[in-house]
Amino acid sequence: MICISISKASQIGTAIGSGAELIELRLDLLGAEPEELYSMVPAGIKTVATCRPGEYDEKERISYLTGAIGLGASYVDVELESSGSYAEVIMKSASIHGCEVIFSHHDFSGTPGRKELKDKLEHCYRRGGAVAKIATHVHNREDLQNLVSLYELPGRKVVLGMGTLGRITRVIGPYLGAEFTFASPGDGQETASGQLSAAQLNDIYKMIDGS
C-alpha cells in the first residue's frame, strides 16, 4: 500500500482523486487544526497522524496528535527519541480510540551498521509500537543492504532509505513485507529526501506486476 504524505491542505483533494487508500497528515507542516483537516478526508481513507518536533512544543504536539486520534486516525507516529511522558499520553489516547502506534527512528545523516539498526528496530517494539519505522540516509550499497536486511526480522515495519540512493527501498518495501511505503502527492511536493510521487510508484508497480 502507498501512503501519500501531505504537507499542504490543498494536496488532500489531489491524493483522494488519485485513489489514495492511506494518507499521512503532517500536522507540523499543514498549519491547520485536525478538525479542519479531517473534515476533508472521506470515510474509508486511512490516515497516519504525524507531528514532528520543531514547529510546535511538546504540549502543542500532544494536542494535535490526540485530536487527530480522536477524529479517527488509523495510525499515530511517535518518535523513538520522545520522552516517556509524551509517548505515554499519545499511547493512552491511541489505545482508547483503536489507533495503532508507529514508533519511528530517523537518521538524516547516514545509515548505521546492521546491529545498531536491529537494536533501533527492536527498541521501537519494546516501547510499544505496533509498527516500527526506520528511515536513514543512504550513501552506498552497504547502507542499502543493511536497511533491507531488517525485513528478515519479525514484526510489522516500514524501512526507508532517504536520499537518491534510498529510492529503491521505497519501491521494494511492499514486496518485502512493509506495512506500507511513502510517496508524495506530486513532483516537488516531497516531505522527505528521495520520496517518489504516488504516480511514479504506481507506474513502477504496474511494470513490475505486468498490469
Summarised one tens digit per residue, pLDDT across range 153-192 is 999 999 999 999 999 999 999 999 999 999 999 989 999 9
Q: How confident is the model at residue 211 (pLDDT cuts 50, 70, 90)?
A: low
Inform me whether the pLDDT recorded for 66 exceeds 90: yes
Q: How confident is the model at residue 117 (pLDDT cuts 50, 70, 90)?
A: very high
* Contacts of 150 by beta carbon, 8 Å cutoff, 6+ apart: 117, 118, 121, 134, 157, 159
Active-site hit among 105, 120, 133, 137:
133
Inform me whether the pLDDT recorded for 121 exceeds 90: yes
Q: Report the pLDDT value the prediction gives residue 18, as an integer from 0 to 100.
A: 87
Q: How many helices (H) and strands (E) does the chain have?
A: 9, 8
Its pTM stands at 0.95
Specify the residue for cell string 481513507.
45
Inform me whether the pLDDT recorded for 46 exceeds 90: yes
Nearest-angstrom CA–CA distance, 161 and 125? 20
Nearest-angstrom CA–CA distance, 68 and 48? 9
Residue-wise pLDDT tens digits, 99-109: 999 999 999 99
Active-site hit among 106, 118, 123, 139:
106
Inform me whether the pLDDT recorded for 53 exceeds 70: yes
Answer whether CATH 3.40.50.2000 is correct for domain 2-108+168-209: no
Q: Which residue has the higher pLDDT, 13 or 211?
A: 13
Strands of the 100-107 sheet, one edge to the other: 156-162, 131-137, 100-107, 75-79, 46-50, 22-26, 2-6, 181-183
Q: Is 206 a catalytic residue?
A: no
Q: Is 133 a catalytic residue?
A: yes
| SS3 label, residue 60 | helix
